[in-house]
Every structure is written in C-alpha cells, then in structure tokens.
Amino acid sequence: MKRTLMYNFRGVYGRELTHSIAFLVGKYAARNIRARTQKPKPKVYVGNDHRFSSNSLKHYLIQGYISEQMIVRDVGLVPTSVLSYAVKKAADGGCEVTASHNPPEYNGLKLFEADGSVVKPDVEDRILEEVNREVQSSFNADGASILTTDYGITSSITVISDYVHDVVNRISTPVPITVGIDCRFGTSFTILPMLLKSLKCTYYPIHHEQNPYFLKESGEYLNPEPKESNVQEISALVRYASLDFGLIFDGDSDRSVVVDDLGRYVPDDLVLLFLATEYGANPKKVITIDTSLMVEQHLRQQGYELTVTPVGDPFVARAVLEQGASFGGVPNGHYIFPDFLPYSDGLFAASVMVQIASKLKGRGMKLSEFVEQVPKTFIRKVKLPFGRSRDEFVSDVVPRLERLVRTLCRHVDRLETDDCVVMCKDEKIKLLVRYNRWDTNFNVQAESLESAEQAEGLLNQLRGVLAQI
C-alpha cells in the first residue's frame, strides 16, 4: 500500500489521518510495548497539543490502547518534550498527538519508548504496515463502544512542575535576564511562565495563546515554524524593549530558535555550537552531515570528539545513545541533551541559552558581542524541484554531482538512508545536496569560509548541474 502518512503518522485530519487509524496505531503500538516489556498490563502516557483535531484523535488512540489491556494515563495539553519526560519517569511508552509546525489541518501521532526516545523508524514502519492491513479490510472505529477500563488522568500541572524542577536543578543563572518569547500560538506557554520565572528571567510574550488554527486577531495565519523568515516580530520586540535576547518556538515546543539582543537571527549552526560547548563535560558530541564546516572545524579544534550522522533528529538520538555522547544537534532547532531526555527539546535548549546569556551578562558581555567572536562563515541554501523517486536520484543525479564536486573538493561522501546526501568538503568550502523523501525535492547548500561571493558561486554551480537533470 502506498504510504500516504508522513513520519509520526502525520497527515491531514480526516483524510490521511482518521479516527480509525488513530485507534489502530494505539492497538499495534500497545502490542509492540507488550512484546518488548512482557508485562500483562503495561502503562502508557498520552498527551496532546492544542489543534482542533487533537482531542478527537487522542480519544481513538486511547481506545486502541485500552482494547489491548493497557493502563492509560492522560496528561492532557503539554509540549511534546514534557510528554517524553513523563514517559521516561514512569511509563512503558506513550504518544503525543501533534503535527508540530505543520498547518492546522494536519495532525500526527508521535510514539515514545520507555526511555523517552521516539520509537525507531523501523518500529513505526511495522506498526504502519499492520494499520494499513486493517484499514484495507474496511475497519471503522467510529461508533464503537467507549472503553474506559484502566483509563486515568495525570494532571498536566504535576508533570510540568516536575519537569521545571528538574531543569532548574541543572541550569545556572547567576544574573537575572530579560527574554522575549514568541510562542507562535503553540504549546510552549503552558510551561514557559513557570520555567522562566524559576530561572530568574523576566519574560515578554507574543503569540502566547493556544490558537487551534494559528490565527492572529486579524484572521491572518501565523506559520508556527521557528525559522529565520519568521523572526521579524520577536526581533522587533527584543529591540523595542531592550531585552537580553529572544526565543521562538514551534507548535509542540521541541524546537527553538534564537535572536540576539540586537534582534538579529542567530543561525542555527551557531546555536548548535554554543549549546555543544556549554552543556555536558563529556567531549563526545553528535552533529549531522549538514552542519556548518566552520562549526565542525571549531569543535574539533577545541578537542571535541564528533560523530556525524545523516540529517534528522532520530539519527542523532540513536547516535547519542550508542556513542555515549553528552549532546547532539541538527542545525534546524532540534537539540538533544541525553542526560535529561533522549529527545529533541526546545524548552531545555532555551534554558541552556538562558544560562549562556546570564553568564555573559555577569561578565558584562551581550549575546551579540559573543556571536561576533565566532569565526565567520558564509552559507547559501536553496530548495529545488525534482519530483522523482529516491532511486532515480541515486541513478541519475548522484553520478553527475560526484563528478562536479570531485573537481572542487578532496573529500567526497555519500550517505544513503531513506534520503540520500552527496557531500564534499575541503579546508575552506563545503557543498551538500540532499534528496528529501517527503517532498521529493533537492535541499542544496554551499558554504565558504572566505566570502559570500564564493558561497554564491558554488551554489550556482550546483544549480547548473541540477537544472540539467
């Protein structure tokens, strides 16, 4: 059966992601947990974001769990990382109903293992195969009798308070600071007031209501993704109020992006660098293949032991645990602090940035000044259409790319997962083309440590090759 759902069972509510699919995901996720734990009645925690469809999908998900004799604890509306934290503390597995940064018509089901990590892609694929098999046999969960055996509620305030207490015990803020926060109408404001006050921060929020359609009062849609093109309003707030820095979160709060005290976007690669050097005494760190050459070189020069993975936080999470690393990150706002959670946590990353800004302020330095001390690099990125399969990318595109990049760089690498990446680098440049399986397009990246003009020229050479495909 052709896959219509994206990762984390993500799709349009009522079309790709139906009540019946939610029920069946709960059913087969429960069977997976029982097979793993060998317990007669394992316990799961279930949470949700604020989307208009989340409570309905959660109901059917819970029905699927209960149909397999699971003990279910409903923690209600919480950020995804808080659900992960609750699972790690007291459950055999769990699920957050969320579609993160996707538009409001989307939703998804993010499954967790007992240690708080997301289930492995192969486990998710096996569950999806079983779900599809029953869907094809015309299974329909609508109208079924309601099951309530072993269902209970765990207060979201209790879980959030435990999370905040644990964070505060790990983060040092010697000097109080001021922070602007853009919640993008997502889940982050369910915890940020308690968290930031506990970290000695005075906070100034915008877009902090949980709007199920991500709509401003004017009716304008607000994209809930934290990225450079969406920082204008938090940047203006930071400048206007003379704040120490600003943060922007995605819909389910597992990603965060930073602006400095001048309201300037701090590139995700630099945030990754700051977090990697600030947190965790263990020198083992994990980064992805699309991480900046400058960041990689800087970390290696400082004596850090790096493991480089394919693009994606699941690969980082796996490598962090396998290598015993103290930090892992993807330069798109996904950062993992494994001694706290083996899952991407925008809230914990924000807390570490608070620690950094507080220490800097105690030394009389601003975040913008700290950013200026980092070696310069110039990165140009573009997404280009392809619209064909991964196999066609490997057979038709990769050979031409490798011929080009071998004329520019000494080191050429190819990583093949469900995606495929061709990367080359030298002392001063790095080039990368990634086939993205979800939109079947190219993600193209060119980096120069010397000039923006060189980065632009390299990007144009890659464009030229790809335009001929």
pLDDT tens per residue, range 358-414: 999 999 999 999 999 999 999 999 998 888 888 888 888 888 888 888 888 888 877
Q: The whole model's pTM is what?
A: 0.94
- Beta sheet of 441-448, edge-to-edge order: 378-384, 441-448, 429-436, 420-425, 411-416
CA-based nearest residue to 92, from 112, 121, 120: 112
Q: Does residue 35 carry a pLDDT above 70?
A: yes
Written as one string, the DSSP assignment of 2-34 is ---SBGGGBEEBTTTB-HHHHHHHHHHHHHHHH
Mean pLDDT of the chain: 94
Q: Does residue 2 carry a pLDDT above 50?
A: no
Rounded to an integer, what distance in angstroms lies between the CA atom of residue 419 and that of residue 410? Answer: 23
Rounded to an integer, what distance in angstroms lies between the CA atom of residue 99 and that of residue 10? Answer: 6
Largest CA distance in the chain: 67
Measure the CA angle with vertex 335, ends 329 and 337; round to 5°. 105
Active-site residue, selected from the candidate residues 100, 117, 156, 326: 100
H or E element at residue 373: none
Q: What is the pLDDT of residues 234-278, one digit of tens each?
A: 999 999 999 999 999 999 999 999 999 999 999 999 999 999 999
Q: Domains along the chain?
A: 7-154 (3.40.120.10), 159-372 (3.40.120.10), 378-467 (3.30.310.50)
CA-based nearest residue to 37, from 83, 87, 86: 87
Q: Say if CB 337 and CB 171 are below 8 A apart.
A: no
Q: What is the pLDDT of residues 220-239, one digit of tens each?
A: 999 999 999 999 999 999 99
> For residues 101, 105, 111 and 115, what is the CA-based torsion angle, rounded to 10 degrees?
30
* CA dihedral (195, 72, 65, 122) positive or negative: positive
Amino acid at 407: T
Only one residue has tokens 């990049």, namely 405
Q: Say if CB 432 and CB 422 are below 8 A apart.
A: yes
Rounded to an integer, what distance in angstroms lies between the CA atom of residue 388 and that of residue 406? Answer: 25
Q: Say if CB 285 and CB 304 are below 8 A apart.
A: yes
CA-based nearest residue to 229, from 255, 253, 259: 259
- Active site (annotated) includes residue 253: no
Q: Say if CB 292 and CB 447 are below 8 A apart.
A: yes
Percent residues over pLDDT 90 in the chain: 81
Local structure of 426: helix, strand or coil: coil
Q: Say if CB 168 and CB 199 are below 8 A apart.
A: yes
Q: What is the pLDDT of residues 290-328, one digit of tens each?
A: 999 999 999 999 999 999 998 888 889 999 999 999 999
Half-sphere exposure of 294 (CA within 13 A, CB side): 22
Rounded to an integer, what distance in angstroms lies between the CA atom of residue 38 and that of residue 33? Answer: 8
H or E element at residue 439: none
